[in-house]
Amino acid sequence: MKPVILYYSQTGFTKQYAEWMAEELSCPCFAFEKGKSVDFSQFDAVIFGSWCHAGRLKKYKWFQDMLPRWKGKRKAVFAVGASPAGTIQAEQFLKTLEIPGEEITAFYLPGGLRYERMGTASRIMMKMFSAMVNRKKEKTPEEEQMAQMVSRSYDVSDRKRIKPVLEYIRGN
Ligand SMILES: Cc1cc2nc3c(=O)[nH]c(=O)nc-3n(C[C@H](O)[C@H](O)[C@H](O)COP(=O)(O)O)c2cc1C
């Protein structure tokens, strides 16, 4: 397989995962903005990575719009979010990436939060979310954990997590 990686990242977690994959697969890796001018005919697999934003994957509409041009290519999507891997939230998120009639394999990779690199809008949204979680008086253990997590920056990204994506692209 000759893959190409495209990623969209605000605070660096998705970029880091994309670069780890590019190293392992010895393939090019482009930021979304530059990827618009890529000649896709020379690649037979496309990996698209982006970050979770309020239950949606950023730039997924762009990815969907590109699909007719990528007929016959192997396609993988990786979604990077603040939730830990293997949670119900992560599983539910992957379901939202299914596109009827398209064969796309999606993976969830845990990133973290980096308040210091967020844009103003993101920071405000996260502050509102944090206040909402904290306001709730009787929290479930999951909500308690969430309140703790969103109160500060953290990094749970892990290079080992890319293994299933590599295996899928290599056809193992
Ligand atoms: C406004 C906003 C909304 C977010 N919504 C979600 C979400 O719905 N689910 C999730 O797991 N993470 C969510 N996150 C966390 C980001 O997906 C996470 O920080 C990710 O690692 C960012 O990737 P990046 O560093 O490539 O930008 C949100 C972050 C922000 C700023």
User: In the chain, what are the domain boundaries?
Assistant: 3-114+155-170, 115-152
pLDDT of residue 145: 85
Question: Among the atoms of ligand 1, which is closest to the Cα of residue 12?
Answer: 25
- Model's pTM, two decimal places? 0.96
Is there an atom of ligand 1 within 6 Å of 130 CB?
Answer: no
CA distance 26 to 81: 25
Average pLDDT over residues 7-15: 98
Helices of type H across the chain: 13-25, 32-35, 60-66, 88-95, 120-135, 141-149, 163-170
pLDDT of residue 52: 97
pLDDT of residue 141: 87
Name the residue of 16, 52, 115, 128 to mutate for ligand 1: max ligand atoms within 8 A of Cβ: 52
Position 77 pLDDT exceeds 90: yes
pLDDT of residue 46: 97
Q: How confident is the model at residue 100 (pLDDT cuts 50, 70, 90)?
A: very high
Place of tokens 């009827």: 100
Position 172 pLDDT exceeds 80: no
Mean predicted lDDT score pLDDT of the chain:
94
Position 20 pLDDT exceeds 90: yes
pLDDT of residue 170: 94
Average pLDDT over residues 24-36: 92
Cα-based distances in Å from 162 to 16, 49, 76, 150, 156? 11, 11, 12, 24, 13
Taking a C-beta distance cutoff of 8 angstroms, is the pair 90, 108 a contact? yes
Using the mean position of ligand 1's atoms as its centre, give its distance from the Cα of residue 49 in Å: 13
More confident residue, 136 or 12: 12
Q: What is the CATH number of domain 3-114+155-170?
A: 3.40.50.360
Using the mean position of ligand 1's atoms as its centre, give its distance from the Cα of residue 164 in Å: 21
Position 87 pLDDT exceeds 90: no
Q: Which of 40-44, 82-86, 127-131 has the highest mean pLDDT?
A: 40-44
pLDDT of residue 155: 96
CA 9 vs. chain centroid, Å, equals 8
CA distance 84 to 96: 17
